[in-house]
A = this chain, B = another copy of it.
Amino acid sequence: MMLKKRDIPQHRRLYETLRKHIVDGVYLEGDLLPSENELCRLYGMTRPTVRQSLGNLSADGYIRKHQGKGSIVHYLPREIGILSVSGTTTAVGDRNLKTRIIVKPVLMPWPGDFMFPLNDLEKESGCIYMERLRLLDGVPIFYDITYIASINLPRITSRQFEDRSLFKILREHYQIEIKGGEQRIKAINATPKINRFLKMRRGEPVLHLERKMETSTAGLHLYSSIFCNTAKYSIYGRF
């Protein structure tokens, strides 16, 4: 049997369709999704396929399933949801979020005492370094230092990062998707350098995140050290 649209699996397409309907408000929070059998009829697939879509939606927090009742829409991270899954830009929307480049992407050796252990390939390749400042409604909120292993990323140091997400560039130009990762979170006192960028007073508390992100390209990781002014906004997450 042939596939309908350039080899994107059916369960994936249904997932994207339903997810889009949820974030666009076609289905509101608390709404009951069409039943599995109804979705089968609507989209012309069998129940295991539909169930895979719904299972993924459930795992990603978009719906809650209840045996005997149905699948209920459970989408809430709309308030000030930042840093939940992949990039910061996607979560808060491009509306109020501006990015200012402090240090343009530059190829350099890895720092001596790096926050995560590196594999041999990463060590050899050298690292692409950049610093960015994210402003929410004109107020600096994130000061972001990013490290990427320089593996198969031609011309990346010459690309424009203004007004676009790093994740978008990786996806569109290099077909690289963020698949997950790990992070360490702690509260620290702002250093003078952080104070300058985040416009905070001396001694004010700052949230510090150290993240390692895995991509669809095996062995390629993104690392970032993020300093966050949480005086006005909180970091929001689901688990």
Residues in chain A within 8 A of chain B (CB atoms): 48, 55, 59, 61, 64, 66, 76-77, 84-85, 180-189, 203-208, 210, 214, 218, 228, 230-231, 234-239
Contact = CB atoms under 8 A, between A and B. Distances in A.
Given A181-B239, A184-B236, A189-B205, 20 more contacts: A59-B59, A61-B180, A84-B239, A180-B239, A182-B238, A183-B237, A183-B238, A184-B235, A185-B185, A185-B230, A185-B236, A186-B231, A186-B234, A187-B230, A188-B230, A189-B203, A189-B204, A203-B203, A210-B234, A237-B237
B205 A77 contact: no
A239 B207 contact: no
A206 B85 CA distance: 24
Nearest to A55: B55
Question: Copies of this chain, how many?
Answer: 2
The winner among A181, A185, A235 for most chain B CB atoms within 10 A is A185
Most chain B CB neighbours (cut-off 10 Å) among A59, A64, A230, A239: A239
Among A61, A184, A214, the most chain B Cβ lie within 10 Å of the Cβ of A184
Contact of A207 (B85, B187, B236): B187
A207 B186 contact: yes
A236 B203 contact: no
A228 B186 CA distance: 9
A97 to B, nearest CB: 18
Given A59-B59, A187-B206, A206-B187, A237 B182 contact: yes
Given A61-B180, A218-B66, A237 B205 contact: no
| Consensus secondary structure, chain A interface | strand
B189 A239 contact: no
B180 A235 contact: no
A203 B189 CA distance: 9
Q: 6 closest A-B pairs (Cβ-Cβ)?
A: A186-B230, A205-B205, A187-B187, A184-B234, A187-B205, A187-B207
Given A66-B218, A188-B187, A239-B85, A77 B182 contact: yes
Contacts of A77: 182
A19 to B, nearest CB: 16
Nearest to A180: B239
Contacts of A230: 185-188
